[in-house]
């Protein structure tokens, strides 16, 4: 699995769909869809592994209620 979401309790969520460019190429563009998380955590972190020679990249979003 290349991309996953994690929450503040270290729960891991796998994507359910990818709509976009297929494998290959330098820049891929698309939409990655996950099931809804309930209850909403204070933040989610998208982790992308083994892309472009980088072991892991992460992007974190705070969720304000």
- What residue ranges do the domains of the chain occupy? 3-22+29-62
**Range 40-44 contact pairs with CB under 8 angstroms and sequence separation of 24 or more:** 40/65, 41/7, 41/8, 41/9, 41/11, 42/8, 43/7, 43/8, 44/5, 44/6, 44/7
pTM for the model stands at 0.82
Task: State pLDDT tens for residues 30-65.
Answer: 999 999 999 999 999 999 998 888 999 999 999 986
């Amino acid at each position: 699995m290349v991309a996953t979401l994690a929450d503040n309790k270290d729960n891991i969520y796998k994507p359910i769909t990818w709509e976009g460019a297929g494998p290959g190429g330098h820049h891929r563009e698309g939409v990655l869809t996950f099931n809804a998380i309930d209850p909403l955590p204070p933040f989610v972190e998208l982790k992308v592994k083994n892309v472009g020679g980088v072991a892991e990249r992460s992007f974190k979003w705070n969720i304000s209620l």
